[in-house]
Amino acid sequence: MTVQKAIKILYWWINQKQQAMETLQEKWKYSDDSYGVEKTLMDSDKVLISNLETIKKELDPNASYIAF
């Protein structure tokens, strides 16, 4: 796999996770004061997106690659 392809996958993965989180927030009527399973899942996805963003910045520090 080339670095360019890896970056494209990272952009796609981040986008997919962000869209999924938005959909769940709307369906669950999630807010910052929510708790339980919803909060656990949302917090987990926030950490995952943050980690993916960190990897993306390491591979594409100037954000010069446009995946779409």
Q: How far is CA 21 from the centre of its chain?
A: 9
5/66 Cα distance (integer angstroms): 11
Exposure string of 42-60, with b = 16+ CB inside 10 Å and e = fewer, is beeeeeebeebeeebeeeb
Q: How far is CA 57 from the centre of its chain?
A: 13
What pLDDT score was predicted for residue 33? 67
For residue range 6-16, what is the model confidence (pLDDT) as tens digits? 888 999 999 99
- Please list the ranges in the chain whose pLDDT falls under 70: 30-34, 64-68
Residue among 4, 22, 15, 18 at smallest CA distance from 65? 4
**What is the reported pTM?**
0.75
What pLDDT score was predicted for residue 66? 59
